[in-house]
Structure 1
Amino acid sequence: MEEDNSISSGYKEYVAGLLAGVSTVAIGHPFDTVKVKLQKHNTEAHGIQYRSALHCTARILKTEGIKGLYRGATSSFVGMAFESSLLFGIYSQTKQSLQGAEQSGEPQPRVIIPSAAYGGAIISFVLCPTELVKCRMQIQGTDSLVPKSSRYSGPLDCAIKTAKTEGVRRLCNISLHHD
């Protein structure tokens, strides 16, 4: 019976992580879109200049509607749901493994730190590609300088084109060059 409880608990951690990831994107993605557009457009010559985050938000809503604030969210929903689910689950399982028989009381830093580090290392393989795709989808909004012929049709198209033209290393944000 004790084994069933730990399996059930592990399953709950993965589901909780999935729900946390979806909630994070649903609430935070519009803010992230504004941040990315401010970073991209306010630094390029001949780009759109936004006076503030409010100006940027108003322009997105005027030119693209509410959909504009969620541009690139598909890859974020999938990525964050998968990422958070893995993080919660791997953290929980690693913590249980490291704690062993001493399940009583609060987990100690010698258990928490390696559990979190291991979970974080694993999810980076999901996080890097989904973040790159998300940012590229956000930047190419309808008021962007990107010609319609070069725009991505969706997150999968973005990932495939990035891998084909820049290589899988770029999609995973792996650089062999040191600045």
Structure 2
Amino acid sequence: MSPKGKEKEKPIASLMAGATAGGIEAFITYPLESLKTQLQFGAPSGKKLTPYGILKDTIQQRGIGGLYAGVGAVVIGNAVKAGVRFTTYDHFKSILSDDQGKLTAPRSMLAGLGAGMMEAIIAVTPSETIKTKMIEDSKRAQPRFNGMVDGVRQIVREEGWRGVYRGVGPVMMRQGANSAVRFSSYSTLKQLAQGSMAPGTELPGWMTFGIGSCAGVITVYTTMPFDVVKTRMQSLEAKKEYKNAFHCASRIIKEEGVSKLWKGTTPRLGRLVLSGGIVFSVYEKVYPVAASVLP
């Protein structure tokens, strides 16, 4: 989201800034993503799982590296995802904004929804599927995947390319909702903050980080059920367990209770609070630089 008002956005600058922000954010916050995913799988033995318990067990059994199983797919996917997200959001924003470059909350939500759908199809589904399967595989006594490339090769050989796109429906719903809520929250909070400052004054870095973090909190609680269903649909045994996303959601509610749809909220909240702050802060700093050096 460029601070350039109604001035035409530069797609390549948006892509570069978004990809940089996404890659940095993914690597920094990945351990929280790993904990969230493991919580959403649940425990076959029925024992109670906690973020601290999973963190302790993972480090004891597999070392710090165990928290980074599948990180390559997510860093690459997140860089592409964020690049696509900001590029498409800036495009929709330029179409929907008024003469001063401002968006109403509903229009910002619509622009975010479109950006989220695009990123889900292009980048998020494959990277999330690979990440989820690799995290689940890493918990086995004898993991089958020897790194990301080998994991992708085995998934494609056993399930075809559709296996990499498993769960695309809930991913589209989650990403559409994520981006709609996150961008509209961020835009609204940013405009409120700028309204209290002198015209033309740039927001300080700490305020950008704080606004992005607040947008992350709002996003987590409103979109968590989509995330839980997405994780289950991308598990190694999903094709045997669930017919579709609606069947998956109904089974979770029926067999485990409605509250299970918010399982993993704590680590995801931690990740998206950091993610919102990091992504928007890095993007707002990188975009002007990229725009100034690109034609």
TM-score band, normalised by the shorter chain?
A: 0.7 to 0.9
TM-score by length of 2: 0.49
1:54-133 maps to which residues of 2 (within 5 A)?
Answer: 54-100=149-195, 102=197, 103-109=199-205, 111-133=207-229
| Aligned equivalent of 1:14 | 109
Identity level (%): 26
Alignment pair present for 1:157 and 2:247: yes
The residue type paired with residue 250 of structure 2 is I
Alpha carbons 2:170, 2:230 under 8 Å: kept: yes
Which has the larger displacement, 7-16 or 161-170? 7-16
Structure 2 residue corresponding to 1:31, chosen from 109, 127, 141: 127
| Aligned equivalent of 1:50 | 145
The residue type paired with residue 175 of structure 2 is M
Distance of 2:145 and 2:125 partners within structure 1: 19
Structure 2 residue corresponding to 1:136, chosen from 212, 224, 232: 232
The residue type paired with residue 150 of structure 2 is H
Alignment pair present for 1:41 and 2:137: yes
The residue type paired with residue 135 of structure 2 is Q
SS in 1 for 2:103: helix
Alpha carbons 2:220, 2:265 under 8 Å: kept: no
SS in 1 for 2:110: helix
Identify unmatched segments of 5+ residues in structure 2. Answer: 1-96, 267-295
Alpha carbons 1:79, 1:126 under 8 Å: kept: no
For residue 12 of structure 1, report the CA deviation from its aligned partner: 4.5
Distance of 1:61 and 1:84 partners within structure 2: 29
Change (3 A) 1:158 1:111: same
Alpha carbons 2:110, 2:180 under 8 Å: kept: yes
Distance of 2:133 and 2:265 partners within structure 1: 24
Identify unmatched segments of 5+ residues in structure 1. Answer: none
- CA-to-partner distance for each residue in 1:11-66, whole Å, 9 max, x for gaps? 553233223322332213212211211111232247x6112222221122122221
For residue 72 of structure 1, report the CA deviation from its aligned partner: 1.1
Change (3 A) 1:31 1:113: closer
Alpha carbons 2:224, 2:265 under 8 Å: kept: no
Alpha carbons 2:177, 2:223 under 8 Å: kept: no
SS in 2 for 1:153: coil
Distance of 1:116 and 1:41 partners within structure 2: 33
Aligned length, in residue pairs: 166
- CA-to-partner distance for each residue in 1:70-99, whole Å, 9 max, x for gaps? 111211111111111111111111221232
